[in-house]
């Protein structure tokens, strides 16, 4: 059931708190936002996002997908889901419709499918759903099931296998089904139309989008559990950040070109932030569970370190590991690199040396939410309190010269480069 609403946004800070002048508005949803990154409509006038709780938290009973105006934060509509939560970042299709995955953790009751792929019209009307997890694996249940949308409108999403669904909701093909466990990662599509997917126990695999057959497959390393969506460089090289803290560069024919282990520079960590790639080939990504600290990395195109950003102004009572960066970076037209972090901050860093240009504090921590950057100069990101923020920047959208400027490539979270 679609709800049409006319309410307006809520301020992020109370009357006794200082409002950061960069925050234009903040919309408060009815429940938490753990997994969902915002997506912008094709004309960038609407922001879509969904609510969800962390894996260790109780599932809310009032989850929904929201649509709010980008200029003011006023709600346009919400699509109520109840207990199922938006386990993905929404993706906008070529016709303006919205695809997302909603998940329920109490699968097995016979009442609620575990993972449903939804497709809504731009005004929030349900077009169809497809069950992408008819089994009951769930032996490991971490990460997103964010859909990717091809140039023909086909939707690719992973949960109880990797599914390809035609624009009308009919099954096109499925792979890796049934899996040994639920598979939670987002595929991407190269300029040649090839689909790339990787997860735990599933090597980096290139698939033909027409029927899903394997073109090549490449094991990356021991325990190469991958929760970060790949990025694709200008020459077709696939950049993959793996959970053990190793980044791989794999050619378009499946050859490992180089690898970078964060432990080699003294940081033990995991990697859940998806890479972004600048026009000069610089690779940006964040780290998690870092020791001695969770840092933000800039790597040269050959996998060597360009610079490391480590915060020096965290409160003394907060352990350095709380700088965890699930949030994937976005590269602005002003050249700055934007991302959020678990302590509740949004950063804009200089690409040359990683110095801070500015920082905004949010009401709560930021986990999987990755920023979108509109042409109007606004950054959109959400935090665990359920607030979606609109933050003023000096950019005019994503950097068009960047090879892969953000998570899932563009503000619509399509996962491929539209020509």
- The whole-angstrom distance between residue 197's C-alpha and the CA centroid of its chain comes to 15
Token readout for 250 is 């794999």
Q: In the chain, what are the domain boundaries?
A: 3-392
User: How many other CB atoms are there within 10 angstroms of residue 211's CB atom?
Assistant: 10
Rounded-to-integer distance, Cα 381 and Cα 27, Å: 11
Locate tokens 């995991």: which residue?
Answer: 270
Regions of the chain short of the pLDDT cut 70: 1-19, 106-112, 136-141, 222-224, 319-322, 418-419
Class of residue 192 by CB neighbours under 10 A (exposed 0-12, middle 13-18, buried 19+): exposed
- Please give the CATH number for the structural domain made up of 3-392: 2.130.10.10
What pLDDT, on the 0 to 100 scale, is given for residue 250?
97
Rounded-to-integer distance, Cα 112 and Cα 129, Å: 13
What pLDDT, on the 0 to 100 scale, is given for residue 177?
87
Q: Considering only CA atoms, which of 145, 90, 93 is closest in space to residue 114?
A: 145
What pLDDT, on the 0 to 100 scale, is given for residue 135?
78
Q: Is the pTM of this model over 0.75?
A: yes
Token readout for 301 is 């195109």
CB 213 within 8 A of CB 226: no
Rounded-to-integer distance, Cα 415 and Cα 101, Å: 15
Exposure letters 41-59 (e unless 16+ CB within 10 A, then b): beebebbbbbbbbeeeeeb
For 176: left if phi > 0, alpha if psi spans -120 to 50, otherwise beta; the answer is left
What pLDDT, on the 0 to 100 scale, is given for residue 200?
84
Locate tokens 């925050």: which residue?
Answer: 23
> What is the side-by-side order of every strand in the sheet holding 202-207?
188-189, 195-199, 202-207, 214-218
What pLDDT, on the 0 to 100 scale, is given for residue 384?
93
Rounded-to-integer distance, Cα 106 and Cα 58, Å: 11
Beta bridge partners of 360: 346
Token readout for 386 is 């359920």
Beta bridge partners of 299: 283, 305
- The whole-angstrom distance between residue 374's C-alpha and the CA centroid of its chain comes to 16
User: How many other CB atoms are there within 10 angstroms of residue 140's CB atom?
Assistant: 15
Q: Output the CA–CA distances (angstroms, integers) from residue 303 to 265, 287, 390, in the order listed.
A: 12, 16, 34
Rounded-to-integer distance, Cα 286 and Cα 296, Å: 4
What pLDDT, on the 0 to 100 scale, is given for residue 191?
86
Q: Output the CA–CA distances (angstroms, integers) from residue 400 to 19, 39, 370, in the order listed.
A: 32, 17, 18
């Amino acid at each position: 059931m679609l709800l049409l609403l006319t309410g307006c946004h809520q301020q992020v800070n109370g009357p006794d708190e200082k409002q950061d002048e960069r925050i234009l508005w903040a919309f408060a949803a009815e429940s938490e936002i753990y997994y969902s990154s915002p997506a912008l409509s094709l004309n960038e006038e609407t922001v879509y996002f969904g609510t969800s709780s962390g894996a260790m938290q109780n599932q809310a009973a009032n989850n929904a997908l929201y649509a709010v105006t980008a200029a003011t934060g006023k709600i346009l509509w919400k699509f109520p889901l109840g207990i199922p939560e938006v386990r993905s970042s929404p993706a906008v299709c070529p016709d303006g419709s919205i695809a997302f995955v909603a998940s329920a953790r109490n699968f097995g009751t016979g009442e609620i499918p575990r993972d449903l792929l939804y497709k809504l019209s731009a005004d929030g009307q349900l077009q169809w759903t497809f069950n992408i997890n008819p089994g009951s694996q769930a032996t490991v249940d971490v990460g997103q099931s964010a859909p990717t949308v091809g140039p023909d409108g086909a939707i690719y999403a992973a949960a109880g296998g990797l599914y390809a669904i035609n624009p009308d909701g009919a099954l096109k093909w499925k792979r890796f089904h049934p899996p040994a466990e639920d598979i939670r990662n987002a595929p991407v599509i190269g300029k040649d139309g090839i689909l790339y997917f990787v997860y735990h126990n599933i090597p980096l695999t290139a698939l033909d989008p027409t029927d899903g057959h394997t073109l090549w497959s490449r094991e990356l390393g021991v325990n190469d559990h991958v929760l970060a969506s790949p990025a694709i460089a200008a020459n077709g090289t696939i950049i993959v950040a793996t959970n053990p803290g190793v980044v791989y560069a794999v050619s378009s024919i499946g050859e490992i070109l180089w690898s970078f282990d964060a432990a080699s520079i003294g940081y033990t960590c995991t990697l859940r932030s998806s890479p972004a790639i600048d026009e000069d080939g610089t690779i940006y990504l964040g780290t998690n569970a870092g020791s001695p600290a969770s840092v933000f990395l800039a790597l040269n195109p050959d996998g060597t370190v360009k610079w490391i950003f480590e915060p020096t102004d965290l409160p003394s009572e907060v352990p350095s590991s709380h700088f965890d960066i699930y949030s994937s970076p976005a590269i602005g037209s002003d050249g700055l690199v934007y991302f959020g972090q678990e302590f509740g901050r949004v950063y804009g860093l200089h690409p040359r040396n990683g110095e801070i240009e500015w920082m905004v504090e949010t009401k709560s921590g930021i986990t999987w939410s990755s920023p979108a950057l509109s042409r109007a100069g606004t950054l959109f990101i959400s935090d665990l309190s359920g607030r979606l923020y609109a933050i003023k920047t000096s950019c005019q959208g994503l950097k068009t010269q960047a090879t892969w400027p953000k998570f899932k490539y563009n503000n619509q979270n399509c996962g491929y480069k539209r020509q």
